Structure 1
Amino acid sequence: MPHRLIGCTLQVRLTHRVVEIFHDHQRVASHVRRSQRSGHVTINDHMPKAHQRYANTTPANLIGRATQIGPNAAILVERMMRDRPHPEQGYRSAMGILSLAPRYGSQRLDAACERALTINAVTYSSVASILKSGLDRERPQAEHAAPTPAHTNIRGRSYYQ
């Protein structure tokens, strides 16, 4: 049923092969009936534009859009979809990440994605928090291993020969 007719009174004609929908005695939709007992048929033209964009989304499409932002954004979006049982479960998070680009710019968003990947925080909320707090502008501090102080408890190299 076309989305513009939600809430309207409609007439439906079902035949063995066809489903027809009428509004004010005018046919507004028609499609071949599914042979399976349960399920539904979705026709993209009947959806609102925003739903059409979402329905036509693919992992390759999202990763391609993230690649235009930067390599780290692409890796993060790819991991979001790979780490979920079904890639579609990562679509909303990935779209959220991509929606941050107009506000913060591609460079900052890619830097935030890099930082999120470094700390293994592959979520929309982590990237948004990094951007909000400005951590994307700071370089991560390298962890330096402090040299072990000399004391009598440490065996020397000769001990192991």
Structure 2
Amino acid sequence: MEKSLLQRLPETPPEISEWKQPKVHRDAHVQYAYCFYPVPFRLIGQQLWLRATDTTIRIYREHELVATHPRLFQHGAASTVADHMPPEAQAWQSQDIQWCLCMAQAIGPHCYGVVHQLFADRVLVNLRTVQNILRLRDKNSPQRLEAACARALRFSNPCYGAISQILKKGLDQEPLSPITTESGSTYTSGGRFLCDSATLFH
């Protein structure tokens, strides 16, 4: 008798899901299972609902669906949606490697030399550093940035910290001292090719 009441199983198995309540980080991402998913930046700081299945992440603000992403599994992986970023972050995102090279070339050969040297090392790791260096033109001027890059290259220190300090101290407007040709150890003070930080910032 009970057998006659049984129904066929559904052709599609039920979707198993897990619900969490993550808080939106300052970078407009929420974290689930060591992965990061973006939401609209207007939701920064808010507590949202996250529904995770084997294939999909859905994020809700109360009953409103605000974001849907494919499920990530690699530890530390992050999904990115440009429209979810604040305007200033969208601007950073558009400043890719080719943009940086073109901008540096427009500023001058020494600025291009700094950028080219950084990209020759580790492109993706140094991209943000290059963006920060090029951004110094906004606080100063392209001419001053070019002069600061020339000084940094002279002393084999093409990094953001050195270039920023050169501009801060106004050393880009000082004439570069001639490179010493005195003999000595390359790795100690007075060596032929050594340019230490004391000389760089004075």
TM-score norm. by structure 1 comes to: 0.69
How far apart, in 2, do the equivalents of 1:117 and 1:37 lie?
39
Match of 2:156 in 1: 120
How far apart, in 2, do the equivalents of 1:145 and 1:40 lie?
51
Q: 1:67 aligns with which of 97, 105, 129?
A: 105
Match of 1:33 in 2: 71
How far apart, in 2, do the equivalents of 1:129 and 1:9 lie?
41
How far apart, in 2, do the equivalents of 1:88 and 1:7 lie?
29
Task: Please give the root-mean-square deviation of Cα atoms over the aligned residues, in Å.
Answer: 2.8
How far apart, in 2, do the equivalents of 1:143 and 1:33 lie?
57
In the alignment, structure 2 segments of 5+ residues that lack a partner are 1-38, 183-202
Q: Kindly indicate whether the alpha-carbon contact (under 8 Å) linking 2:95 and 2:131 is maintained by their aligned counterparts in 1.
A: no
The percent of aligned pairs where both chains have the same amino acid is 33
Q: 1:88 aligns with which of 124, 131, 137?
A: 124
Q: Secondary structure at the match of 1:28?
A: strand
One-letter code aligned to 1:66: A
How far apart, in 1, do the equivalents of 2:129 and 2:165 lie?
14
How far apart, in 1, do the equivalents of 2:180 and 2:43 lie?
65
**Shift in Å, 1:110:** 0.8
Describe the superposition over 1:110-130 as per-residue Cα deviations: whole angstroms up to 9, x where unpaired. Answer: 122112111211112222232
Match of 1:157 in 2: none
Report 1 or 2 for greater relative contact order, CA contacts < 8 Å, sequence distance ≥ 6. Answer: 1
Corresponding residue pairs, total: 143
For residues 144 and 23 of structure 1, do their structure 2 counterparts lie closer, same or farther at Cα, with a shift above 3 Å needed?
closer
Match of 1:12 in 2: 50
For residues 29 and 120 of structure 1, do their structure 2 counterparts lie closer, same or farther at Cα, with a shift above 3 Å needed?
same
**Shift in Å, 1:59:** 2.1
In the alignment, structure 1 segments of 5+ residues that lack a partner are 147-161
How far apart, in 1, do the equivalents of 2:162 and 2:135 lie?
14
How far apart, in 2, do the equivalents of 1:2 and 1:144 lie?
56
For residues 91 and 11 of structure 1, do their structure 2 counterparts lie closer, same or farther at Cα, with a shift above 3 Å needed?
same
